[in-house]
Structure 1
């Protein structure tokens, strides 16, 4: 082999170094910062019940207020990870960071195959180093795979235009959406349109495999509905017929709110302020000190979208991407309740492709310093993150201080904070105690999740009352026998009268 062939050039070494740094950034303090809240606890308790006593389940977590339950696939994945890690949440933290890297690689592959390697690399850099999206990958709940599923649906639909066998993958992906998040269902009109457009090219075998695959993936939901008078299937229909009963009615206020959120989010996906954290940026519980949008960033991205949609009208290769973006935006804007930012995870990953297409003609001499600045700014945000005070390690340390004080005695668990609701803003603690300490005999979580662990209730007389306060001080007519703190959390331990 000649020396020339072994020569290492900047064009070869820089992408390798970038990828190594991306791995470091995305795994940085994965377990320490892991954000475990009410929604994550709901999923975790369902998954742990499978580890304790495996049995077929037909549904997973509920989907918003539509009266619909998702399929159990994500619960099974969570249970598998818990089985590997013996219930330790660290395994979810590391898997989520790893999955974010897999999604970034998938984005590079898909954008490179559909458009060009340069578009793929630009998109992967923008997505992979985004502080906001790294924050999302420090959580683990059913929306986690949305971006991954979206990018592979995009790829399958593009490939299906030339080879209809790819509709089989499209069908499987759409079926999997019923196990993950209902926002993925908004792509059905586009999928159906493309199927009808290519219907003459679809063979009987492709139809049969697609139908069988779809039914196989959604079979748990079918079994559940057959045994429950189609209650799950009829849930969204009841919602549409009587939306006021769920407290969700579309109006101008929601439309304006969601328009503002899109404007905010397209800036936040590219820039978050330093010294912030996941709880604030995701508005978890009583938190909500989010990074405000940078006007010029939002305006710049909106103008790029104008350019893109004008190109999409004339150029077919942009049209599937354009219609997928329109689909998710229409869903979000017209959503008849408060739409959270994570509903836009599919939009974010497609936005990076649009930006990649716009920047494709810009020379690397100009792009290199721009990306260096982008990576540096987002890295500063990550390295100055103040999430540790709320994260998994901090919570586990608090439990480690509490347990020697109460031993194996029966105790109740309560949570308090700035938000007056008893548990929803402070969720996670019940599962944390059962994993790193001992399960409480009663807790604030029981009202919401007690049906998952009925075997863990006990008639034993409570000997201790444990109150966990977030940020604020807690006072009671009784005096605690001990007070311990970790991060923003303080625990007050009361001895109950015998």
Structure 2
């Protein structure tokens, strides 16, 4: 009886979340993007499970010497074990996180604004192709929106003079480096909300918040203490240097706005329209001011939202950090919130906007091209190499790659799963050559999507020669992996 009443009272959010989960699971395996990041995750899980090595850090980020925290990797371990150490466990894990994100959006926005707006934002997020694709990515930055919505909730609680806001913020800021270091940038938003609340901070609340922050931040502190605070030095050097590290890095206002506008266009589903992305950013910013003028959001919330979206622009415009779109994903929740509040407070035009948004995104979803170099194709390729090596009686093999630099990553965990002893081509072991992508000027013996395989020249290998080449260590297990530190 209670369960029936629970379902009845929450029918719409359950239906919306079910739709969101379906859109994320349907075709997820076929389009599972698998590359170096996913290989690193598998290597982390293997190191913890097989070697019993408790790790304090995850992989190295695009900033040399700066590592992401280990929380996401540890969260994925149960799912890997559930799937027999197959990377599909990670895909299942991030879909669970996505489901929790949808429910969190509903809860927080309903609590702060209105239930209607909560339903709208959860629906927008559930059906947005941008969100669907992001939620399928098995990477540490995937929970960014989940982090953002709960951080916004902590900001609102503090604004309402609720001490729980300090505890939630302390926890979230403590784990931020596990997800995306750029999330630390939103600390001023929290401090501003405290200032606007005009609440005197109690010593007890401050003490508990600091203790909680330190407790969840301990892996970082331990790692830094053991390594001479090299990561802290690397971060400070990158943010204080006036040198532009590479073409396309930060320190350029125009580039930051371009990437932010591209993210907004992606959220709206208008990325492919022949219109400057900047217009879509201006459109959503105008909605923010409109909501304030119409008193849909109050003055304090308006200020906090404006500061929230401004901070990353200012920071990355003056700092020469290698900048990617995901560094700006901390604003994603805000864009969805603005759209939801507008729709939720305008019945006719809001409903029309919702229909257009849904049609565009579902159309793009249905016509999404299949990823022909991802999980399935790489797994099948390595599985085929394993079977072929058994047929020819090879106890070990070598792998060479015909591809661009960096595109030879994303295979080593599959070699491990297949128990393949993989040497370098110079070892004298039979060489299987992977070609990616397929090229017209190179003949291959077998294809897996857009990945080609060239067989070894079987006639040149003798049993004795192969056995001799296999006498050394397994290079796949002993060679260093880029971005992975022991």
The answer for the alignment partner of 1:127 in structure 2 is 125
What 5-or-longer segments of structure 1 have no aligned partner?
274-289, 444-459
Distance 1:272 1:440, change over 3 A: farther
The answer for the alignment partner of 1:73 in structure 2 is 71
Q: What does residue range 36-435 of structure 1 map to in structure 2 within 5 Å?
A: 36-65=34-63, 67-161=65-159, 162-195=161-194, 201-242=200-241, 244=243, 247=246, 254-271=252-269, 297=280, 300-308=283-291, 315-363=299-347, 365-407=348-390, 409-417=395-403, 420-421=404-405, 424-435=406-417
Aligned partners of 1:306 and 1:462: how far apart in 2?
68
Q: Deviations over 1:329-360 (max 9, x none)?
A: 43344452442222232212211111122223
Distance 1:360 1:196, change over 3 A: closer
C-alpha root-mean-square deviation of aligned residues, in Å? 3.3
The answer for the alignment partner of 1:281 in structure 2 is none
Q: Secondary structure at the match of 1:387?
A: coil
The answer for the alignment partner of 2:483 in structure 1 is none
Q: Deviations over 1:421-440 (max 9, x none)?
A: 1xx23421111222246252
The answer for the alignment partner of 1:473 in structure 2 is 439
TM-score (norm 2): 0.82
Shift of residue 241, structure 1, vs aligned partner: 4.5
Distance 1:489 1:247, change over 3 A: closer
Distance 1:339 1:247, change over 3 A: closer
Contact 1:265–1:293, Cα closer than 8 Å, also in 2: no
Shift of residue 150, structure 1, vs aligned partner: 0.8
Aligned partners of 1:208 and 1:12: how far apart in 2?
38
Distance 1:198 1:360, change over 3 A: closer
What 5-or-longer segments of structure 2 have no aligned partner?
466-486
Q: Deviations over 1:139-159 (max 9, x none)?
A: 111111111101100001111
Q: Deviations over 1:361-419 (max 9, x none)?
A: 211x55445423422331222222222423312222222322211125322223333xx
TM-score (norm 1): 0.80
Q: Deviations over 1:58-101 (max 9, x none)?
A: 22222331632233222222333323323201111122222222
Aligned partners of 1:214 and 1:87: how far apart in 2?
32
Corresponding residue pairs, total: 451
Q: Secondary structure at the match of 1:31?
A: coil
The answer for the alignment partner of 2:453 in structure 1 is 491
Shift of residue 298, structure 1, vs aligned partner: 5.0
Q: Deviations over 1:285-327 (max 9, x none)?
A: xxxxx77657665553343244356669962233333322222
Contact 1:268–1:291, Cα closer than 8 Å, also in 2: no
Q: Deviations over 1:84-137 (max 9, x none)?
A: 323201111122222222212211111111111122122222222111111112
Q: Secondary structure at the match of 2:142?
A: coil
Contact 2:398–2:427, Cα closer than 8 Å, also in 1: no
Contact 1:313–1:319, Cα closer than 8 Å, also in 2: no
Aligned partners of 1:270 and 1:16: how far apart in 2?
24
